[in-house]
């Protein structure tokens, strides 16, 4: 299974995942590789009405950057229903 497939599988549950958790999948390539994989996933998911968002949490439960797969809200101009 490729790194992209592992990241996509991890994000498919719709829950926020720490960037450090996803970076472990990209080791030894590092943060720039994670950015490239997230960008690729966004391009592949957009036609399906999905995307990956980055969220910064600063509360007692979660801290730091997280990535989460979400469903986009359809609009008449984008042709999705």
**Residue ranges of domains in the chain:** 3-74
Strand partners, 66: 18, 55
Strand partners, 71: 50
Structure token pair of residue 11:
């994000």
pLDDT band (50, 70, 90) for residue 77: low
Report whether pLDDT(51) > 90: yes
pTM confidence score: 0.80
Report whether pLDDT(26) > 60: yes
Q: Who has greater pLDDT, 69 or 80?
A: 69
In 1-81, the DSSP E strands lie at 17-18, 50-58, 63-71
Structure token pair of residue 12:
């498919």
Question: Which one-letter DSSP state was computed for residue 43?
Answer: H
């Amino acid at each position: 299974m490729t790194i992209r497939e592992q990241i996509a599988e991890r994000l498919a549950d719709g829950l926020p995942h720490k960037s450090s958790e996803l970076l472990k999948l990209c080791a030894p390539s590092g943060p720039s590789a994670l950015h490239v994989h997230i960008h690729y996933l966004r391009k592949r998911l957009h036609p399906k009405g999905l995307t990956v968002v980055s969220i910064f949490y600063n509360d007692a439960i979660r801290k730091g950057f997280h990535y989460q797969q979400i469903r986009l809200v359809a609009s008449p101009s984008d042709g999705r229903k």
